[in-house]
Structure formats: C-alpha cells, structure tokens
Amino acid sequence: MSRLLRIRSARIALTVLALIAFLALFGERIAPYDPLQQHPDVLAGPSLNYLMGTDYVGRDVFSRLLAGTRLSVIGALEAVTVGLLIGVPAGLASVWMGRVGEWIALRLTDTLMILPFTVFAIAVAGTLGNGLHQAMIAVGLLTSPAFFRISRAVALGLRSAQYVEAAELMGASRWWVLRRHIWSKVLPNVAVAGAQTMGSALLVVASLAFLGLGIIPPTPTWGGMLSADLGFLDRQPWAPLFPGLMLVLTVGSLNVLADCIREASSGRVQRRGLTRLTKPQPVLTPEPVLEKETR
Amino acid sequence: MPGTLPLSRRDLLRAGLGAGTLFALAACGSGSGSGPAAGGSGVITWAWQLPTSWDPITSSAGSDVQMLALAYDALTALDPSGKAIGWLAEKWEYNDEGTAVTFTLQPDLKFSDGTALNADAVARSLNRARTAKGSLVAPQLADVQEVTAEGELDVLITLTETNFQYPLLLAGKTGMVVNPGVFEKDASVLATTAAGSGPFTLTSYTENDHAELRKNPQFHLADEILVEEFRLYPAPDAATAVASAASGQYNVVRIGAANIDAAQAAGLEVQVLDSMFVAVLDVNTTKAPFDNPAVVQALKFGIDREKIRQVAKFGVGDVNYQPFPKGYVGYAEDLGEVYAYDPAKARQILADAGLSGGVKGTFSVTAPPHPATEQIQAQLKEIGIDLSIETIPGSEWTQIVYLEHAKALGYDGFAGRESPVQAFQVLFSETGLMNPARNRDPELDAQIAKVRATPVDDPSYPEVLQEATRIAVTNFPNVFLYNEPFIIARQKSVTELPQSPSLRRFEGISAG
C-alpha cells in the first residue's frame, strides 16, 4: 500500500474513488432534493435552484446523479464479488485437483469466456426476471474466468517453487501452503484484475440500464439517466454529459488504479516517488510456467 | 526484414484509412442493402411501423390497419367525420329488420395479381375471416350466419340478429378483402406477403426491418396514386427521428411531441393529424390490489391527466376519460370531467375501504418506459397506491398482458376501431383483447345490442351509442387518459397528408 501511495496517479485515482465511495454511501442524503420528486420546472437548464437542471418530468438531475451513484457502484461491486468468489478459489484449486478436474475447469472457463457480457446478462435477466441482482450475477459469472486464470497462473508458478516443494516435503498441508505461500502472491494480481473488472462491470451496469434492464425507472442510475436523456437531446444537448462524466471519472480512476497496483507490486516504484523504470517487468512473481512443465 | 512488404507503419495506417473510407462511401452509396435509400422522386420512405402480420385476420395490433391499408382494400371506408362511405362497395342496402345487408361492388375490380375481385371473392374472403382457425377478427363477425355472392357484384351478408354496424365494421381489417386464390392455396404465406387490391403491392418484406411496396396499377383509384414506391420502416428512436428525416434517410417519420420544435428547426414540415388513439390503463380486476373496486376507483381519480399532457406530451393532445375522441359520434359530452383529478377524493375512497395505509402493486409498461408512466407512478404514490414499474419488451406485450392476462395494471393505448361496437367488443366484451379480466356487464351488453339495432343514420343513434359509452366508462375499470394525435415530420418534397381520424390515405400525395 505504501508503495502504491508513492505514485501520484494512484493518489489521484484513490481520491476520486474515495469521493465516489462517499457518494455511494451518502449521496442520497446530501442531495439537495428527493431524487424522485417531480418539480414543475420540466427540462430546465442548470441554475442556482437546479445545479444540473431538471429532467423530462422535472426531477433535479444533480440529486439523481448523487443518488444514482449507489446503485451503479453496488451493481458493479456485486458483479466483481461474484467473479472473485467463483474465479479465485476455482483457479487455485485447479492447480491441485488433478488432470480430469483441471481439464473440466479449463474447458468451463473457455466456454464462459466466449459468452458476450451484455447478451448473456439480457438472457439471464429474461429468464430469472429483470432485476439488478440477476443481471449482476450473470455479469459476475462471466468475469470469473479472468480471476480464475490469473490466480491459476500465479499458483502454477509457485507450486514448483523450491520453498513450496520444501514445505510440502516437510508435511505442510495444501491449505497451509495456500495460506502461507500462495495467497500473498496471488492477492496483488487479483487486486489488479479486480480494479479493471470493476471498471468493466460499471460500464456493463450502465449499458444494461441504458437498455432498460437491471434497474427500472424511476430509480436513478447513471446508465438509466444517459438513456433517458437521449430522448430529449434536441432540448438538452448537454444533459448526457453529467452521467457520462461520472462514468468516465470512475472507470478511468479504476483503470489507473489497476495500473498503479501492477506497478507497485512489480517493485518498479522508486522510493521517492514519481519516477518509474522504463523497462517493463513481469507482473507475476515468480514467473508463471507453462502447464506442461508442471506435470 | 526479409520476406516482408516494405511498408512503414505510416503507410499501413494510410492504407487502412483509405480502405475504411472506401468502405464507408460504399456503404453510404448503397441503395440495395437493408438500410433505406434516400427518398427520391416518387418514393415515400416512411419510418412508421411494420405490421404484426400482413394477413388482416391474424394481425394482432389495431394500429396494423394503417400498414395493411397500403396493400389491401376494405369494402367501405370512413369519411373524416367517421361515417361509412363506399370503397370497394359502391353502395349497400339493409333489409327492413337489419338482419341482412347487400353490398354492391364497383364493377371491374381486380386484385393486384390481375385476378377478378368480384362478389364471389369477397364472400370467400369474409367467410375465411369468420371461420378460419386463429382469425382474430372472427369475434367481430360472430353474428354472421352466412356470406354469399349474389351475381357478379352483390355480396349478401345474412345475420343472426339485427346489426346495422356492418358498413362501419367493414371499413377496417375485418372488411379487407384477401385474394382467395392465395389463401386457398397456402394461407400461411400471408404472414409475410400481401394479396390484396390496395394502392400498393408488397414486393419485398424483411421482418423487423423494412417492407417495399410498389404502386398497384390494378388499384381502383390508381390514377390518384402519384408515388411509384412506398418503403416502410419501423419507427426510429426518438433521439434520431428528426435527424433521419432531415438527412434524407426517410422522407416521412412519425415523431413525438417532444420533437416538434426540433423538426421545424430542421426545416421539416410537421403535421399533427387527428387520431382515434387514446392512452389507457388496462386494469386486471382479478389481480391484487385491483381486485378491490375501491382501488380501481381511487386509480381513476388519482391521476392528473392534464399534468401528464403538459409534461409528457408537451401540451399536445386532449385529456379524455372515454374511449372515443371529442367530436366522434360515440363521445358522450355530458360525461364531462367524470374522473377529474381529485387526490383528496381518491385518498378518501381508499380510507373508506380500510386502505388508509396504502396498497402496493406492479405497473407493467413496455420498455423503455414512457415518461407518462413515471408521472402516473408518482401521482398514485401520493394517494397511497405504491406501484413498482415493471418493463415488458414490446414484442411480448400482447402475449403476456392480453393473451395470458398475467399482469395487474398496464399502460397501453387503444388505436380505435372503425365501428364503435367493435371498439366496445375489444375493450369491454368477454372476448375483448383489451379486457384483461374478461369482465362482463349485462347492462352494457344490452345497450350495445340497442346500438347494433339502431341504423347509424337514425336520429336516435348518437344518444343510444353515447349511453353505451356512459355505461362502459362508469362500470368498467379501464382508465382512459388522453387522446394522442398522429404527428409526422416530412420533407417538403412530400405533399401534405389529409386529416383523417382513422386511416392515413395516400391518394393525391406526391413525393419529390
């Protein structure tokens, strides 16, 4: 963490994300108006009364933007959590589960990787009902291969490390080895993937809301606001900028953070700060090895 | 590097950009792809709607009649005031009891394939409409005993009871004449091909994409059709409707009230045409919380229709509490503002029914939700009816809401019908598509029987019909909201469309 905080862009990204997290927690409370309240001023421009104007039924856009942060972020978090919970344990276990189990896990992962996020989420929402949780479980399931492959790659490399073999020869259990030697090496890589996936998931949540899936009006979400604004572009051409900007800021910050975690974990950050080594270093420590080398 | 082309990255980029530009130009210039070609001379390219079927008897949307009328002719038509006038039939005559009506066809009528459209063809077409399996117009013809051809031009419809509504009824889908030579061979083809005698012939149809029609030289008013081609597309997204017309992608588009200013600013002609369309809440009284009559009553008084008209409809259209537009013969003037917005009364109704704590329910709407639905939800919440909006894809609406009757409350619209009795049948009869609870009211049935038994030119007809409207509006749960006109934006090259509350007609319309 200290290495991460030495990178200026990481500090900026974390500040933005902290602000987004604050809005997710307290946005509705600090909003100047009830985000569902319909005022007489319809499609009003930005003013002192309505900082970002009002929407097509007279709701304060600024209040909806603040209140919409929670569901947008929660949806993405839900998807990432599902992906992590499925992908990481399966990825670690696949290294020790034998050839048949390994083969099945890899083919399942391959299958999930070819499914397109949005189409799959629409199909699941169509089957299980149109709700945020259903859609996010679907998205989470599709993000799990990323976590699976990353955690598996790290574990594969570490499994043949001498200190791991030594620990096993001395009678250490798999669980102990996993906890003591593997997990600490997997975690930074999973954090990188988590931050990147969070950004992607946020866009998927927004896309689904844009398509009218997942979150139903009048509940505010960034994607839903974008979608609704498009119908009134000729009257309020600036309106999509506000939710769009929130998405750009959040997804951009998550991507920058992911880069910085990768950088910090690879030890490329100089002590005093801002300079990075020019030659890229491998992310994984130690180097991942090919599967056939482990057998 | 040996074996590689001597291309720098910059060369490669140039080549890529060049190829991309060529692709884009080719795509823009193609007129034969699935995309629409720019509207040229004598071509109407209208982003409007595609019918659910090109077969008039299996089409499941009332608004399909507009598209079907491009390819089919009905026996009669409606004048701007809603009265029946001759079309394929030049005249008709009832017997004294009103139990038989003879339609006399114009001479020398032909289907688009050149075969004769005579009394025999009409009789076979009508008999198919009333007896074919899966016919959605059969309930309208339930009182037909038989249809027979009397000579070359006379079609005799014998009824089981008095019904003077047939000249009106046969002005719509029910009276559209389908070529028997086609449906007797293979009726299934009619879902995607048309076999009529209308102003245009369907030459190409790609489901959910577009339809191409060409002027039908056999049409009985062919001299009045001034465009050679009619290309029909689904309505574009509201955000792109005006741009698509301004750019020439289409030369006529249907737009919403929100786009009127933008269309005018873009140099398009905007026409607000009369329509019989009325927005309505379909209430299923077999499902909670609307199985409680007090909730239904509160619903009627709890909606501020004028505010919705001002906000969601940008002030276009008229607030309405009944299924017919003002000025129509069935419009009961004395109903006035029978369910004028009165939130205090709505709350009192709920309180009197022991529901002062409020009720919860689900409000089904097509995706994406119309702004009006969010206003209705907020207004009803104020009086204690807390509804969650649930979206249903438009393509599944009829199945889920009207055939499975699976939803408690839905936001929809009634496109109107040529005959008021037909409208009552759809909205208020046990077999009516838009009667999700299959409610039945003997008082209304008796009054509708009187309407049928009254000649439409009888002085008492308006009062008899309006009494039926009063009964329906007060006894049935449907919540009528407002009439919506039909708004189009057209390029100046397309001439003005005539006002007509029912069908859009294209006689005398030129393009380019």
B150 found inside a domain: yes
Q: Which of B187, B206, B231 is the last residue of a domain?
A: B187
Q: Is the predicted pLDDT of residue A177 greater than 90, yes or no?
A: no
**A2-266 carries CATH number 3.40.50.2300:** no
What was the pLDDT predicted at A186?
A: 86
Whether residues B378 and A234 touch (CB distance < 8 A) is answered with no
Q: Which of B125, B156, B187 is the last residue of a domain?
A: B187
What was the pLDDT predicted at B395?
A: 76
Q: How far is A212 from chain B (nearest CA, A)?
A: 6
Chains A–B, number of C-beta pairs less than 8 Å apart: 54
Q: Tell whether the torsion through CA atoms of A97, A98, A100 and A106 is positive or negative.
A: positive
**Residues B304 and B433 both lie in one domain:** yes
Give CA torsion, residues B456, B457, B462, B467, to 10 deg: -40
Average of pLDDT values for A148-152? 91
**Distance of alpha carbon A247 from alpha carbon A252, whole angstroms:** 8
B198 found inside a domain: no
Quick: pLDDT tens for B362-408.
Answer: 999 987 788 999 999 999 999 999 999 988 887 788 888 888 889 99
CB count within 10 Å of CB B61 equals: 18
**Which of chain A's residues have a Cβ under 8 Å away from the Cβ of B242?**
234
Residue A218's closest chain B neighbor by CA?
B374
The pLDDT confidence band at residue A267, using thresholds 50, 70 and 90, is low
Say which residues have a Cβ less than 8 Å from residue B350's Cβ, sequence separation at least 6: B294, B295, B298, B356, B358, B359, B383, B384, B385
Quick: pLDDT tens for A21-37.
Answer: 999 999 889 999 999 99
Which residues are bridge partners to B229 per DSSP?
Answer: B43, B214
Which residues are bridge partners to B110 per DSSP?
Answer: B116
Show the domain range for B388: 278-483
What was the pLDDT predicted at A182?
A: 84
**Which of chain A's residues have a Cβ under 8 Å away from the Cβ of B238?**
230-231
**Distance of alpha carbon B281 from alpha carbon B373, whole angstroms:** 10
Residue A55's closest chain B neighbor by CA?
B371
Whether residues A235 and B390 touch (CB distance < 8 A) is answered with no
Q: How far is A131 from chain B (nearest CA, A)?
A: 10
Say which residues have a Cβ less than 8 Å from residue B103's Cβ, sequence separation at least 6: B75, B76, B89, B91, B92, B122, B154, B155, B157, B170
The pLDDT confidence band at residue B322, using thresholds 50, 70 and 90, is very high
Share of chain A above pLDDT 90, in %: 29
Number of domains forming the structure of chain B? 2
Three-state DSSP state, B180: helix
Residue B392's closest chain A neighbor by CA?
A130
What was the pLDDT predicted at A285?
A: 44
Residue by residue, what is the 3-state secondary structure of A189-249? Answer: HHHHHHHHHHHHHHHHHHHHHHCCCCCCCCCCCHHHHHHHHHCCCCCCCCCCHHHHHHHHH
Q: Is the predicted pLDDT of residue B93 greater than 60, yes or no?
A: yes
- Which tokens sit at B271? 């026409």
Quick: pLDDT tens for A119-129.
Answer: 887 788 777 77
Residues 336-375 of B with CB under 8 A from A: 367-369, 371, 373-375
Q: Are strands B252-254 and B359-366 parallel, antiparallel or unpaired?
A: unpaired
**Which of chain A's residues have a Cβ under 8 Å away from the Cβ of B377?**
218
B306 found inside a domain: yes
Three-state DSSP state, B7: coil
Choose the closest CB to A212 out of B259, B261, B391. Answer: B391
- Which tokens sit at B1? 């590097």
Query: Of B454, B477, B478, B484, whose CA–CA distance to B466 is shortest?
Result: B454
CB-based contact B90:B106 (threshold 8 Å)? yes
Quick: pLDDT tens for B184-236.
Answer: 999 999 999 999 999 999 999 999 899 999 999 999 999 999 999 999 999 88
**Which of chain B's residues have a Cβ under 8 Å away from the Cβ of A58?**
311
Q: Which residue has the higher pLDDT, B414 or A130?
A: B414
Whether residues B259 and A234 touch (CB distance < 8 A) is answered with yes
What was the pLDDT predicted at B162?
A: 95
**Residues B183 and B324 both lie in one domain:** no
**Distance of alpha carbon B94 from alpha carbon B101, whole angstroms:** 4
CATH of residue B143's domain is 3.90.76.10
Q: Which of B155, B187, B219 is the last residue of a domain?
A: B187
Whether residues A231 and B238 touch (CB distance < 8 A) is answered with yes
What was the pLDDT predicted at B11?
A: 54
Q: How far is A234 from chain B (nearest CA, A)?
A: 6
Q: Is residue B244 within 8 angstroms of chain A, CB to CB?
A: no
CB-based contact B200:B111 (threshold 8 Å)? no
Whether residues A212 and B312 touch (CB distance < 8 A) is answered with no
Give the DSSP letter string of B364-421. Answer: EEESSPPHHHHHHHHHHHHHTEEEEEEEE-HHHHIIIIIIS---SEEEEEE---SSHH
Say which residues have a Cβ less than 8 Å from residue A127's Cβ, sequence separation at least 6: none
What was the pLDDT predicted at A179?
A: 82
Q: Is the predicted pLDDT of residue B20 greater than 70, yes or no?
A: no
Whether residues A218 and B378 touch (CB distance < 8 A) is answered with yes
The pLDDT confidence band at residue B133, using thresholds 50, 70 and 90, is very high
**Which of chain B's residues have a Cβ under 8 Å away from the Cβ of A232?**
258
Whether residues A212 and B239 touch (CB distance < 8 A) is answered with no
Residues 16-35 of B with CB under 8 A from A: none
**Distance of alpha carbon B472 from alpha carbon B420, whole angstroms:** 12
Quick: pLDDT tens for A203-250.
Answer: 888 888 777 777 778 889 888 888 888 878 888 889 999 999 999 999
What was the pLDDT predicted at B4?
A: 41
B221 found inside a domain: no
Choose the closest CB to B371 out of A57, A130, A234. Answer: A57
Whether residues B378 and A36 touch (CB distance < 8 A) is answered with yes
In one letter, which amino acid is B75?
Answer: L
Q: Is the predicted pLDDT of residue A279 greater than 50, yes or no?
A: no
Q: How far is A217 from chain B (nearest CA, A)?
A: 7
CB count within 10 Å of CB A167 equals: 16
Three-state DSSP state, B318: strand
Whether residues A216 and B389 touch (CB distance < 8 A) is answered with yes
Mean pLDDT of chain B: 89
**Residues B156 and B284 both lie in one domain:** no
CB-based contact B427:B476 (threshold 8 Å)? yes
CB count within 10 Å of CB B493 equals: 16
Q: Are strands B252-254 and B486-490 parallel, antiparallel or unpaired?
A: antiparallel
Quick: pLDDT tens for B440-483.
Answer: 999 999 999 999 999 999 999 999 999 999 999 999 999 999 99
**Distance of alpha carbon A135 from alpha carbon A113, whole angstroms:** 17
What was the pLDDT predicted at B373?
A: 95
Q: Which residue has the higher pLDDT, B81 or B143?
A: B143
**Which of chain B's residues have a Cβ under 8 Å away from the Cβ of A38?**
375, 378
**Residues B181 and B324 both lie in one domain:** no
**Distance of alpha carbon A145 from alpha carbon B151, whole angstroms:** 75
**Which of chain A's residues have a Cβ under 8 Å away from the Cβ of B371?**
56-57
What was the pLDDT predicted at A116?
A: 83
Whether residues B391 and A216 touch (CB distance < 8 A) is answered with yes
Give the DSSP letter string of chain A. Answer: -HHHHTSHHHHHHHHHHHHHHHHHHHHHHH-SS-TT---S--SPPP-SSSTT-B-TTS-BHHHHHHHHHHHHHHHHHHHHHHHHHHHHHHHHHHHHSHHHHHHHHHHHHHHHHTS-HHHHHHHHHHHH-S-HHHHHHHHHHHHHHHHHHHHHHHHHHHHTSHHHHHHHHTT--HHHHIIIIIHHHHHHHHHHHHHHHHHHHHHHHHHHHHTT-SS-TTS--HHHHHHHHHTTTTT-TTTTHHHHHHHHHHHHHHHHHHHHHHHHHTT-B-TTSS-B-SS---SSSS----HHHH-
Q: Is the predicted pLDDT of residue B43 greater than 90, yes or no?
A: yes
Domain ranges of chain A: 2-266
What was the pLDDT predicted at B14?
A: 54
CB count within 10 Å of CB B492 equals: 9
Q: Is the predicted pLDDT of residue A276 greater than 60, yes or no?
A: no
Choose the closest CB to A218 out of B237, B312, B374. Answer: B374
Say which residues have a Cβ less than 8 Å from residue B222's Cβ, sequence separation at least 6: B199, B215, B216
**Distance of alpha carbon B493 from alpha carbon B488, whole angstroms:** 14
B17 found inside a domain: yes
- Which of A33, A57, A236 is the best substitution to test chain B (most B C-beta atoms within 10 A)? A57
Whether residues A212 and B368 touch (CB distance < 8 A) is answered with yes
B337 found inside a domain: yes
What was the pLDDT predicted at A228?
A: 84
**Distance of alpha carbon A28 from alpha carbon A63, whole angstroms:** 7
What was the pLDDT predicted at A157?
A: 85
- Which tokens sit at B311? 């906000």
B286 found inside a domain: yes
Look up tokens 């499925």; give the residue.
A86
**Which of chain B's residues have a Cβ under 8 Å away from the Cβ of A218?**
374, 377-378, 389
Q: Is the predicted pLDDT of residue B1 greater than 90, yes or no?
A: no
**Distance of alpha carbon B70 from alpha carbon B383, whole angstroms:** 46
- Which of B309, B374, B379 is the best substitution to test chain A (most A C-beta atoms within 10 A)? B374
Average of pLDDT values for A49-61? 94
Q: How far is A24 from chain B (nearest CA, A)?
A: 23
Q: Which of A72-86, B119-133, B426-440 has the highest mean pLDDT?
A: B119-133
What was the pLDDT predicted at B41?
A: 53
Q: How far is A54 from chain B (nearest CA, A)?
A: 12
The helix or strand, by DSSP H or E, that contains position B64, with its residue range, turns out to be helix B64-71
B243 found inside a domain: no
Q: How far is A220 from chain B (nearest CA, A)?
A: 12
What was the pLDDT predicted at B107?
A: 96
Whether residues A42 and B369 touch (CB distance < 8 A) is answered with no
**Which of chain A's residues have a Cβ under 8 Å away from the Cβ of B368?**
212, 227-228
What was the pLDDT predicted at B412?
A: 92
Whether residues A231 and B375 touch (CB distance < 8 A) is answered with no
What was the pLDDT predicted at A233?
A: 84
- Which of B311, B365, B387, B395 is the best substitution to test chain A (most A C-beta atoms within 10 A)? B311
The pLDDT confidence band at residue B30, using thresholds 50, 70 and 90, is very low
Average of pLDDT values for B140-144? 92
